[in-house]
Structure 1
Amino acid sequence: MSNPRHLVVSVSGHGFGHVAQTAPILNALHQRCPQLRITVRSSAPESHLRSRIHAPFDYLNSTGDIGMVMSSALTVDIEKSRSAYHAFHADWDARVTEEARLLKSLGADRVFSNVGYLPLAGAQRAGIANVALCSLNWADIYRHYCCDGTDTRDETIAAQIQSSYAGADVFWRTTPGMAMSNLANVTPVAPIAAIGTRRRGELNRHLKLSAQEKLVLVSMGGISSRLPVENWPRLDGVRYLLQANCSDQHPDAINFEALPFSFYDLLASSDVLLCKPGYGSFVEAAGSGVPVLYANRPDWPESPALIAWLQQHGVCREIPQNSLENGDFSGMLIQILDAPAVDRVTPNGAEHVALYLAEY
């Protein structure tokens, strides 16, 4: 009996949107190909990956990309990012050769990346079929922030990243996503998200809340950052669902990490999502019919595409960053709580990509 095929998956640890895009595909692929062996390589926490990916997989802590170094959930540290890329690419050819050797030692039959470029480059050197998927690519992001002409290495690095993506058999660009017009292998695919179950009655009983109270789920997409919640407004009948690191800073806050509910189900059971523009946050909210109050990061190149899509397919309002910090957003919160509902999005892109991978 032949050994099962081995899919090696690279998932960027820069925020949780990459996991949110990848997990539904792997779950659907496992349904189609239960014998498929999957190894997930990522710097994202293994516990988070296992909470989202229900297919069996081996985990390897690995860095396939730099992402961008963030000074907060909303702010890129450009100089630290540039330094990290310079170090990562200092001996790029040797790094790619080592990656090719590693993939061969793992016995990879296919490489699927969201959206680390080193595994793609290594696969290409090793002659292993490889596929990319994401709403962004790091070549465009790096060019946007770092290719300002101050260092000749920057354009070389951007070209090395782009070459890795261009060499993939296909680059599935999720909807919504950046245009990526400079990559000839880009193929658009429908929105991808796992949508939870609305369990509001259970949640109210667990928290001893009345049916009239409103829940605001707060999530910054996995980017570590402490929010100034002590400044946030107190509104009658409004509670904030917050991560543990800041849930003790506001009298109306609840630590959602301690609740016996998945994040999907918490989102589907909330009245508002307060977040930054992020693929997972926006598409999961639109699929759950939950309105979004977002603090924009206008310098992030992916943001315009995400916002334009949510404005068309969901209910959303922008909150200025200074209002998020000083708590001056009670009016906006009340307004969005009263906004009329719209039809929910049905994200079905995961099945499409899973079918491709199963046949591939």
Structure 2
Amino acid sequence: MNRPILYIAITNHGFGHAARTASVAATIQKLCPEVLLIMVTTAPRWLLECYIDGDFIHRPRAFDLGVVQADSLKMDKEATLTKLRDIKKQQNSLIASEVNFIRQNRVQLILADVPFLAPVFAKAAGIPCWMMSNFGWDLVYRDWGGEFVPIADWISECYRESDRWFRLPFHEPLQAFPHIIDVGLTGGTPRYSADEIRSIWGITAPQDKTILLTFGGLGLQQIPYEKLRHFPDWQFIVFDQTAPDLANFIKIHDRKYRPVDFMPVCSRVISKPGYGTFAEATLLDIPVVTITRDDFAEAAFLVEGLKNYNTHQILTPQELFNGNWEFLHQPMQPAKQTQPIAKDGNQAIAQTIINYLHTQKT
């Protein structure tokens, strides 16, 4: 009997999309080990293996770029526009190459988060493309105006070719997309107990004085680490290998550990706006401190979602980067909504995909 084959295309931007999609892929694999996963992304294999325990095929291909960035906040719009125009020029050869691969490997379904060419591949190959995201790249580019508007229009047209859209929480309206299905939060879950994490990494501070600093795969250059010397009885967990070696820092250098693995030992997470961090913290009921961000349209929806469903503290960039961090002594704000948010996104998407693949067996 032929194995069901799922092609999973992931946007070429940072680590967040790869991590959240790999969480869904891992759930598919656990529920139905016979499904062959083809992970199509330029994200490193070690990152995917942090989420997916079993075998998968890694096809390193880029069909979009998100935004060209020096770090997790500094964006190069000019370089982004140039590369988007290059992709538009090359789209026919990109499509032809992937259609050939999809047919040769008898792929039955594409799941995409959210490279806009994926629905076009699928249509040309004669198979469905289901997408999952809380936003589309057309939202971000359209907000920048000017020469990005025709690019955004092109991307919207590509997205309209999709057959189904799993709309994640903390989302933009996505009203232009057909067949929207709302699902709960997605994300990874800790692989270790809180006691194991404390023991392995020598975390001795009480939970209320243990803080996770996480700013995505690109990190941040302007975090005022030196100011954290003034909190000697606190412990700060950081993944940034360029951070100074302060006595109250625990630098995580082993790639098999992920930010979500440390969340249960922390009283809060300090992060830039990002779906993956917000979702995983909210899944675990860990409060989040974050900043406003006016230059990236997705951020407003993320921050609003965080306010609604998690204990939070919203800072200005000035307060985080130039302040004295006295906000650590200030109370957090409770979630605005009294109804809890659905937390079954991994399972809901995975089961729907498995059900479809079972109908394709011959």
Normalising by structure 1, report the TM-score.
0.88
> Residues 310 and 208 (structure 1 numbering): CA distance in 2 closer, same or farther, change over 3 Å?
closer
Partner of 1:271: 267
Q: Aligned pair count?
A: 352
Partner of 2:7: 8
Partner of 1:321: 317
Residue 214 in 1 paired to residue 213 in 2?
Answer: no
Q: Distance in 2 between matches of 1:208 and 1:274?
A: 18
Amino acid aligned to 2:220: S
Query: More displaced, 270-279 or 286-295?
Result: 286-295
Amino acid aligned to 2:167: R
Amino acid aligned to 1:3: N
Q: Distance in 2 between matches of 1:55 and 1:346?
A: 27
Q: How does 1:1-360 map to 2 (within 5 A)?
A: 2-145=1-144, 147-148=145-146, 151=147, 154-196=148-190, 199-206=193-200, 207=202, 209-211=204-206, 214-233=209-228, 234-258=230-254, 261-326=257-322, 328-336=323-331, 347-360=343-356
- Deviations 1:9-57, CA, capped at 9 Å, x for gaps: 1122313321333223222222332111111011111101110123421
Amino acid aligned to 1:266: F
> Residues 226 and 175 (structure 1 numbering): CA distance in 2 closer, same or farther, change over 3 Å?
same
SS of aligned partner of 2:8: strand
Query: More displaced, 223-232 or 120-129?
Result: 223-232
Amino acid aligned to 1:187: I
Q: Distance in 1 between matches of 2:269 and 2:19?
A: 16
Normalising by structure 2, report the TM-score.
0.88
Q: Distance in 1 between matches of 2:287 and 2:269?
A: 6
Return 5+ residue gaps in structure 2 as ranges: 357-362
Q: Distance in 2 between matches of 1:120 and 1:325?
A: 40
Amino acid aligned to 1:77: D
1:344 Cα deviation (Å)?
Answer: 7.5
Instruction: Calculate percent identity across the aligned residue pairs.
Output: 20
Q: Distance in 2 between matches of 1:183 and 1:210?
A: 48
Structural RMSD (CA): 2.6
Contact 2:20 2:187 in 1 (8 A): yes
Partner of 2:359: none
Contact 1:16 1:280 in 2 (8 A): no
SS of aligned partner of 1:237: coil
Q: Distance in 2 between matches of 1:260 and 1:84?
A: 32
Amino acid aligned to 2:108: D
Query: More displaced, 186-195 or 56-65?
Result: 186-195
